[in-house]
Structure formats: structure tokens, C-alpha cells
Amino acid sequence: MSFSYGDEQISFERVLRHQGSSKALIKVYPDCRVVVSAHEDACNDDVLTAVKKRGRWIYEQLRDFRKQLEHITPRQYISGESHYYLGKQYQLKVIEDLSQAPGVKLLRGKLEVTIKQKSPEAVQKVLVDWYRVRAKEVFAKRLDAMLEQALWVNERPPMRIFSMKTQWGSCSPNGRLTLNPHLVKASRECIDYVILHELCHIAEHNHSERFYRMLAGVLPNYMKVKDILDAKVSEFVS
């Protein structure tokens, strides 16, 4: 959905609000997404009216976040940069060594990347490959742990790792989970939330009231965890 404010057309996503006040809840995230939580019985016209009333606030939030994004410099993959793994920040240290095979080590608060010849592209490739391997291992362990809570799942679902720009995970109609390797940069709590979210889709494919009741039943603070994860999108995916 979208509305006009001044000379700008602002788009927003409507999602289901299954508890709390009957009013629409409007959030603007650091990556400039606008998400409106509204009850299932609220018609689109009423939601749009509520959003327009907060038009000035939404516009100002977007303006401020856009200014912040302008100052986020693209990663250069050089020593001294900060990179995430399992919710913690690590300083990147690039080591050039012709005698060693390219690889990554976590050592004393640093991500040590060894390559044969220094170049941003080479460092990026080694890091991306390392994150993917770690993601496969971490996600498999967390999936096993979350299946102990997801009593509605009869058998371990197949899982694949696939990079996505706008999603942390997805669940196909036949129950296959797809998880974003960038998610391994987040905390275990955030990883568990995404996995549980997708496991709920095995029983309920839509974001219905039943879906959110199921999710809240296994993770009561899921909204808080979701907000933490959403606030880090630009840092994790860049």
C-alpha cells in the first residue's frame, strides 16, 4: 500500500496485529521500510487513513534514516573493518601469505582472513564462503533445537542456504526451509526466531491470527527479537 506526502509517494507493508490495542501500529526501520501492523478486521481504507494522519512523522523518520544511510560506507574488506558473527562484532585482519591456503579464523576478537594476494574481491569471496559454511553448521544445530519446541512438525524439514536481499528465511508449500546465510551474523536468539517463524509456516502458510498465536506460544517475545533483527538489516546484508 502507499500514500502521497508532499511530492513523495511512500509505500508501506501491512501486516497482521493480533494482540494489544485496536489502533494501527506504525514502524519505520533504519533500512527505510515502513511496516503497519493492523487487526485483521480493519479495512484498508481505515488503515490508510491512520497512516496518512502520521504522514509527517513517517516522512521525517524516512528523511533521518536516509541521511544515516548516506554515511554508511560500503565495505572495503580491509584490515580494521568491523564484521559480525553470531551477534558479536569482530575486527577484520587481512593476512597475505602465499604459503597458506585461503581461510578464516576467529582469534582473540578478530576475524583473520588469510589470502595469497591482497584484494577486496579476494577477501570478500573468502569471507562469503566462510559465512556460508558456518551458516550451514549453525542453522542445522539450531533447527534441531527448535524442532524440540515445534511439536506440530512431524519430521525434520529439508533446509537450504540461499542469499536473499529482503528475507531472512522462507518456507515452501512442501515444507522446505530456506535460510539467508547473512542471518549467521545475528545472535542465536534472532536465528531461533527466524527458524521458528518458518517452522510455524509448515502448519500455517499465511500470516494469519493462528500463525501468530502459534509463534507467540513458542516465543512470547518474538516481536522484540524481530525488531532487534530488523534494525540490523543494513549492517548484516551490506
Residue 152 DSSP label: T
Residues 116-143, mean pLDDT to the nearest whole number: 95
Give the CA radius of gyration of the chain.
Answer: 20
Residues 54-76, mean pLDDT to the nearest whole number: 81
Q: How far is CA 126 from the centre of its chain?
A: 22
User: Checking phi first, is residue 11 left (phi over 0); if not, alpha (psi -120 to 50) or beta?
Assistant: beta
Average pLDDT along the chain: 89
What is the structure's pLDDT at 74? 73
Q: How far is CA 50 from the centre of its chain?
A: 27
Beta pairing, strands 110-115 & 88-96: parallel
In angstroms, how far is the first alpha carbon of the chain from the final one?
27
Q: Are 30 and 233 contacting, i.e. CB atoms less than 8 angstroms apart? A: yes
Full set of structural domains in the chain with CATH: 2-70 (no CATH), 123-237 (3.30.2010.10)
88-122 confidence digits (pLDDT tens): 999 999 999 999 899 999 988 899 999 998 899 99
What is the structure's pLDDT at 83? 93
Q: How far is CA 25 from the centre of its chain?
A: 20
What is the structure's pLDDT at 21? 64
Residues 33-52, mean pLDDT to the nearest whole number: 90
User: Letter for the amino acid at 125?
Assistant: K
158-172 confidence digits (pLDDT tens): 999 998 877 899 999
**Dist CA 179 CA 6 (whole Å):** 39
Residue 210 DSSP label: H
pLDDT of residue 148 exceeding 80: yes
Ranges assigned E (strand) in the chain: 2-5, 8-11, 13-16, 25-28, 34-38, 82-85, 88-96, 103-107, 110-115, 159-161, 169-171, 177-179
What is the structure's pLDDT at 64? 83
Count of CA atoms in the C-beta half-sphere (13 A) of 104: 22
pLDDT of residue 127 exceeding 90: yes
pLDDT of residue 55 exceeding 80: yes
SS3 13: strand
Identify any residues that bridge with 93 across adjacent strands, giving them in sequence order: 112
Residue 22 vs residue 58, higher pLDDT? 58
Identify any residues that bridge with 14 across adjacent strands, giving them in sequence order: 36
Give which of 193, 205, 196 is closest to 229, Cα–Cα.
Answer: 193
